[in-house]
Amino acid sequence: MKVIKSIVTTDAILTSSNILENEYSTWVSGTSYAALARVIYQHKIYERVVAGAGTTTPDLDMTNWLYISYTNRWRMFDNVISNVSSKVGGITFTLTPSQSVDSLILLNVNASSVSVVMNDSVSGVVYDQTVILSGNEGITDYYSYFFNTIADKKTTAAFLDMPRYPTATITVTISSGSALAEVGEVVYGMKTIVGRTNYNTAIGIKSFSRKEVDEFGNVTVIKRRNSKYCEYDIDIDNYKLNEIQRFFSDIDSVPCVFIGNESMDELVVYGFYSEFKATIAFPTVSKCSLRVEGLI
């Protein structure tokens, strides 16, 4: 079990991107806007509710402005996995965290491959890895090769062995040929090894859709989003128990990536933990349960 505490991406960190931030014009104080006009302010898109002008920024003027979403360039850093950044032909961006980073993970990816190159000003290229997202686990013979649908394409690309160079830049390339490339969330930071994930780990999906039944028995379904959750069964060495307890106290209400097994997408959840419980079951090992609620 590994946990990556996310670093908040700022303008100073996102130093370049091939996704232009030009969906709408930038908000200008005092400018008169028509109803339903859209603007960009601090990488977020807002829509004018009623016609008029004002000097209060859209984020503080909820009477006249409605928040829509982050811009396409910044959706991959908005903590909403289902909101994707997209570009035909692939996405390339560079991060300059100015601190040590040993792990980077991309979630809800629609592409053929993801490459990460780490370049230090003194040592040069210190890391260069590529993850291929297409899979063939469902292909076991000639019949399945020709007739089965390949449904095991990965949507997560994890790079968990990056060297610690606090002055390095990190360039990420999401390749899709000439097709549309998409990524829902990019998370990077320092990983913490919590313990060993066991086979009793449970996974699930929480639905936010609603089913309403009227007095005649007619059913109306209101389709909404859903999120993953995971109940991890973990063994933690007792000598690390105090350290791990402090770590979970530190990440309370902080979005993190919880990785039960990096080779299994279903055991990778980006969200918040709702409960951490440890039972000191043996002289050297504690049995721990961890429930993580995924972000939508």
User: What are the pLDDT digits (tens) for 233-253?
Assistant: 999 999 999 999 999 999 999
How far apart CA 271 and CA 3 sit, in angstroms, is 11
> Does residue 243 fall inside a structural domain?
yes
> Does residue 147 fall inside a structural domain?
yes
Note whether 207 and 240 are same-domain residues.
yes
| Terminal C-alpha separation, the chain | 22
> Does residue 27 fall inside a structural domain?
no
Note whether 228 and 124 are same-domain residues.
no
Cα 150 to Cα 23, 113, 145, 153, 180, distances in angstroms: 35, 16, 9, 7, 19
Cα 29 to Cα 26, 33, 67, distances in angstroms: 10, 10, 17
Phi, psi of 255 (to 5 degrees): -65, 130
3-class SS of residue 65: strand
3-class SS of residue 66: strand
Note whether 135 and 12 are same-domain residues.
yes
> Does residue 23 fall inside a structural domain?
no
Domain of residue 148, residue span: 2-18+76-193
For residue 72, the cross-strand partners are none
Task: Calculate mean pLDDT across residues 160-165.
Answer: 97
Nearest-5° Cα angle at 274, 77 to 106: 25
Nearest-5° Cα angle at 81, 131 to 224: 135
- Which of 193, 222, 246 terminates a domain? The answer is 193
> Does residue 153 fall inside a structural domain?
yes
User: Is residue 278 scored above 90 in pLDDT?
Assistant: yes
> Does residue 26 fall inside a structural domain?
no
CATH of the domain at 83: 2.60.120.260
User: Is residue 38 scored above 70 in pLDDT?
Assistant: yes
> Does residue 160 fall inside a structural domain?
yes
Note whether 88 and 186 are same-domain residues.
yes
How far apart CA 163 and CA 172 sit, in angstroms, is 15
Q: So what's the pLDDT on residue 151?
A: 52
Structure tokens belonging to residue 219: 């059913």
Note whether 205 and 63 are same-domain residues.
no
- Which of 140, 162, 193 terminates a domain? The answer is 193
Note whether 203 and 289 are same-domain residues.
yes
- Answer whether 0.85 is exceeded by the pTM: yes
Note whether 87 and 63 are same-domain residues.
no
Tally of structural domains, the chain: 3
- Which of 178, 193, 208 terminates a domain? The answer is 193
Note whether 176 and 93 are same-domain residues.
yes
- Among 73-82, 205-214, 287-296, the minimum mean pLDDT is found in 205-214
Note whether 87 and 186 are same-domain residues.
yes
User: What are the pLDDT digits (tens) for 169-215?
Assistant: 999 999 999 999 999 999 999 999 999 999 999 999 999 898 889 88
Q: So what's the pLDDT on residue 152?
A: 61
Note whether 14 and 157 are same-domain residues.
yes
Note whether 109 and 57 are same-domain residues.
no
Note whether 187 and 80 are same-domain residues.
yes
